[in-house]
Amino acid sequence: MPESCEIICLGDIILDTYCDGLVERISPEAPIPILKVENDKKKDLGGSGNVARNITAAGNKCHLISVVGDDNNGKILKELCKKTKNLTFDLIVDKTRITTKKQRFVSGSQQILRVDSESKEYISSIIERSIFNRFLKKLEHANVVIISDYKKGMFTRSLLKKIIRTCRAKKKIVIVDPKDRDFSIYANANVITPNQKELFEATEPDLNVSDYSVEKLSKKIIKQYGFDTVITTRSSDGISVVNKNTKILHLPSRAKEVFDVSGAGDTVVSYIASGIVRKLSLTDSVKEANEAAGIAVGRFGTTRVFREEIENRINKNSKICKLNELIEQIKVNKYKRIGFTNGCFDLIHQGHIDYLKQSSEKCDFFILALNSDSSVRKIKGFSRPIVGQSERSEILAHYDFIDRIIIFDEKTPLSIIKKIRPQFLFKGDDYKISQVVGAKEIKTWGGKVVLIKCIKGKSTSKIIERIKNGT
């Protein structure tokens, strides 16, 4: 019986190599940098190999099918595959080709040169039959099939047609990560995941880049080529999802910082497939893929993003919730000692952290009501906040001693307090109990106000003043 897999990945495999060093001078022979090599041993699975290893990092079993040359680089790729847990593979040797290799020369996390070695001629009919036969042997045991096309010659029109037709007949989901401008070769795939440039080049490259044009072009190729869904990665603008039922979803980028976009598309398609296998909705699968891409672009080179990393990010994000969600969570979990505080927390400093930590220690479930940007402006004027609500809330969500964060637009959180009915209201000891919003109300249900001793001399206003004065 063939070894089981959950996802089949077919596509062009690439050997990614890295030569790291320092550039300290320019060559006297030509206007080019001189790289003093410090490490040239790093080798990774790239192309379809990167898709496959991200599938396994997501916690799924994968079978990889690709073509390599009869050379040392092909042997290296085979060894890298062997070392990858939950990955089985068929690397078919084609003696007429060389193994695709990308060599990156890097200084200070900046690529200064890339050298590619590759064959781009289409595979022979013999190799095509070998690929399809091995695909058929694995298909029964797979739920999703990924076509990772790097346009290196592995996917002939006839091979693509046979793979997609067979998957449709057997009700297997086909996801295509395209590189060819002619999307007709991927006709009738369930999902296609171009980046924005690829989408435009395959349709109408002269259109202005906008949500509307992405939607328009997605609907066009759905109708034209029989796709169910088009998922377009849009770099810093996030991901757009359009399906044949006219449902549209735009997700903002989850990247905190961008070092390298290499392989980000691989990460997206891997996590979409993983989500489908785990019975997530397509929307939730894309949301998870978006989180994974946000992590991937914050690293240098092609990289694996592990499920635990996604879960940690989602858990932190889940701290930030809406009032109705929070009320429902309180009802379900029946917390006995709910603590509550509120504030702007603009330019978070030591005084803030000490205050929040002390408050959290006095209750079982600690809620922070955070003034929205509009709320802060109502209180402190149009020069504040310095830091926007999304950034403030995300920073605060990283602290383990805060259980939930809710953002409010009013000047005071009184309406929230009345609905949540916490057992404790926390405020700094620079307040009097009579000055605390909700002090009178909390007594009606047996709660109390607790004044927390604050570190003297610590405030956002003083920080701003020092910055202005240059002290």
Residues contacting 349, CB < 8 A, separation 6+: 458, 459, 460, 463
Show the DSSP H helices in 4-156 as ranges.
48-57, 72-82, 125-139
Q: How many other C-beta atoms are found inside a 10 Å radius of the C-beta of residue 294? A: 22
The amino acid that residue 245 corresponds to is N
Q: Is 427 helix (H, G, I), strand (E, B) or coil?
A: strand
Going across the sheet that includes 173-177, the strands are 87-94, 62-69, 7-11, 144-148, 173-177, 191-192, 229-233, 239-243, 248-251
Q: How far is CA 465 from CA 313, 387, 461, 471, in A?
A: 34, 16, 6, 9
113 DSSP β-pair partners: 105
Catalytic residue from among 94, 180, 266, 373: 266
**Strands, E assignment, 377-439:** 404-408, 424-428
**Degrees, nearest 5: CA angle 393-336-430:** 55
Q: How many helices (H) and strands (E) does the chain have?
A: 16, 18
* Residue 266 bears catalytic tag: yes
SS3 334: coil
Q: Which of 308, 309, 268, 304 is nearest to 285 (CA)?
A: 268
- Contact, 468 vs 347, CB < 8 A? no
Buried/exposed 217-251: b ≥16 CB within 10 Å, e otherwise: bbbebbeebbbbbbbbbbbebbbbbbbeeeeeeeb
Per-residue exposure over 53-75, b if at least 16 CB sit within 10 Å of its own CB, e if not: bbbbbbebbbbbbbbbbeeebbe
What contacts 24+ positions apart, CB below 8 Å, involve 108-115?
108/22, 108/23, 109/259, 109/260, 109/300, 111/260, 112/23, 112/33, 112/35
Q: For residues 365 and 337, is the Cβ–Cβ distance under 8 A?
A: yes
Q: Which residues are catalytic?
A: 266
